[in-house]
Amino acid sequence: MTKVLVIYDSRTGNTEKMADAVADGARQVEGASVAVVNVDKAKLDDLLAADAIILGSPTYYGNMSGRMKEFIDKSNAFHGKLTGKVGGAFTSAGGTACGAETTLLTMLQAMLVHGMIVQGRSDDQPYGATAVEAPDEQAIGYCLELGGRVANLAMALAKH
């Protein structure tokens, strides 16, 4: 089984809805085992056990939430031990020009520093799934696709 871990922060429930959709997309991949955890309950050891890690946070001033940043900062205890794991990110923002892309990039940057593998998209939403406030049908579709894409890449890498 390929273990996919979705860690999210959500105060309004918007990012949590996205986390559930990302997890549903990963579950559609045969052989994927998926866990969804609020960042307040996430344990650093969860990172070591996962083959793929997908982070989700609301956008705050063009960055991830403080709780997600604190969790990522603590992950430096495992620096070098996440190398080769697959990563992805998603965010919900209050508007169309509120920093969603920079929020995604801050989470992906931390993954790259850990030596993780991140797969982008060649069309819209290249850095991860985004939503403006409550995720609409299109945003949920991006979330489903993100979960499936990350799980499939982790599965492919595990075969080699």
Q: Is 138 helix (H, G, I), strand (E, B) or coil?
A: helix
Q: Using a cut of 0.95, tell me whether the model's pTM lies above it.
A: yes
Given this model, what pLDDT does residue 127 score? 97
Which of 36, 59, 56 lies closest to 46 in space, CA to CA? 36
Cα–Cα distance between 91 and 7 in angstroms, integer? 12
Name the band, by pLDDT with cuts 50, 70 and 90, for residue 156.
Answer: very high
Residue 27 · residue 34 · CB < 8 Å? yes
Flag whether pLDDT at 149 surpasses 80: yes
Task: Please give the average per-residue pLDDT across 130-143, as a whole number.
Answer: 97
Q: What's residue 6's pLDDT?
A: 98
* CA dist., res. 73 & res. 30, Å (int): 33
- 135/16 Cα distance (integer angstroms): 10
Residues 54, 144: Cα–Cα separation, whole Å: 12
10: number of Cβ within 10 Å: 19
Both tokens assigned to 6 = 């979705």
pLDDT in tens, 69-100: 999 999 999 999 999 999 999 999 988 878 99
Mean pLDDT (whole number) for 96-109? 93
Give the orientation angle of helix 137-158 with respect to helix 14-27, to 10 degrees. Answer: 40
Domain boundaries, the chain: 2-158
- Which option is the CATH number for 2-158: 3.30.830.10, 3.40.50.360, 3.40.462.40, 3.10.400.10? 3.40.50.360
In one letter, which amino acid is 39?
V
